[in-house]
Amino acid sequence: MYIKHLHLINFKNILQADLDFLSGINCFVGDNGAGKTNVLDALYYLSFCKSYFNPVDSQNINHEESFFVIQGKYQRLDEDELVYCGLKKGQKKYFKRNGKEYQKLAEHIGLLPLVMISPSDEQLINEGSELRRKYMDGVISQYDKEYLDVLIKYNRALQQRNATLKSIRESRAQDFGMLELWDEQLCHLAQKIYDKRVAFIEELVPVFQECYAYVSDNREEIALEYQSSLKEESLKTLLLSNRTKDLILGYTTKGVHKDDLNLLLKDFPIKKVASQGQKKTFLIALKLSQYEFLKRHNGIKPILLLDDIFDKLDANRSSKILQLVAEDKFNQIFITDTKKDQLKKILETTGKDFRIFNVNGGEINIEN
């Protein structure tokens, strides 16, 4: 699968662009703030119905305009796919596949598999557990429609349980019938989520370790550990034993919505012991293993977006990464960088076709 053509109007600082892409490597070079990353974010939008960087859709409209349009023409399983996203201020977002509007955006997730590697990924290491849960959920949802449906139902049931807890607390009632109803629903849904997360991490870890070993020349040991209270006890037992605490606080303190993914370097949290280069290598290896995982499950090679990934990496690791992604197991790749000459020199060693686009102030031109 690959995208042949991208059409943009008023998306962030790009007023208009019509871009034809190679099925190999496509590079966007220019100064910081020129708009390189905005092209990658538009591609992300077409796969996930949202921005990678800004969840508020209206804030992705050029500030002097009232709407944006993103349209892509893809080749997927030997057939053309036309995907359209349009948004006007104050109106709902329109998402269409081959001219037909989706009733639910969740129906689109997984159609165009994509992996994004960005400097903002460092939040996975430095921020709280919510981002690491979103990482797991985002990957699994790209190949498992049932998982996304179960996750949505779990979050709705969780909201209802929390509302019931607050209602009981405020009324000081001792009727727990409604609470027990929501407990039953949560337990059923949570077990499905837990089982699928466990299976995902078990399959991902060996691929991740292999990727990291290649990029780092086997210099460091790394690990991923899925952390969940359901490992020790059933959610039914946990909800019952924590009911008094939950009633006092007014929210549910145990469940898969509190799970985490431990990121380890030599058995220690990478957040505490790793250098900037090691953190970046860790995240790149994690995302490249995610790529391999999706390819296995979807039978389609995802599009790979590499946003400014060579900053803070030494020349050896940068070269290793490009040599790795140039292999046949990867298909279409998009790269942004500020150093054109250096990037071009490394790309020429891969033997893979590449195309360079110069970006300046939101204007994009192909290099002859």
Read out DSSP for 108-119?
Answer: TTTSS-EEEE-G
- The yes-or-no verdict on residue 319 having pLDDT over 90 is no
pLDDT at 196: 96
For the chain, what percent of residues have pLDDT higher than 70? Answer: 99
pLDDT at 316: 73
pLDDT digits (tens, 9 = 90+) for 181-233: 999 999 999 999 999 999 999 999 999 998 888 877 777 888 999 999 999 89
- The yes-or-no verdict on residue 308 having pLDDT over 90 is no
Confidence class for position 368, pLDDT limits 50, 70, 90: low
Q: Which domains does the chain have, with CATH numbers?
A: 1-113+300-368 (3.40.50.300), 124-298 (1.20.1050.90)
User: Could you tell me if residue 29 is left (phi over 0), alpha (psi between -120 and 50 degrees) or otherwise beta?
Assistant: beta
Query: Mean pLDDT over all residues of the chain?
Result: 91
Which residue type occupies 205?
V
For residues 70 and 43, give the distance between their C-alpha atoms in angstroms, rounded to a whole number: 8
Q: Which helix (H) or strand (E) holds 25?
A: strand 25-29
pLDDT at 250: 94
Residue 353, burial from CB neighbour count under 10 angstroms (0-12, 13-18, 19+) = exposed
Contact 366, 339 (CB under 8 A): no
- The yes-or-no verdict on residue 13 having pLDDT over 80 is yes
pLDDT digits (tens, 9 = 90+) for 90-113: 999 999 999 999 988 989 999 999
pLDDT at 320: 75
pLDDT digits (tens, 9 = 90+) for 339-362: 888 888 878 877 788 999 999 999
Confidence class for position 312, pLDDT limits 50, 70, 90: low
pLDDT digits (tens, 9 = 90+) for 140-156: 998 898 999 999 999 99
pLDDT digits (tens, 9 = 90+) for 222-253: 899 999 999 989 999 999 999 999 999 999 99
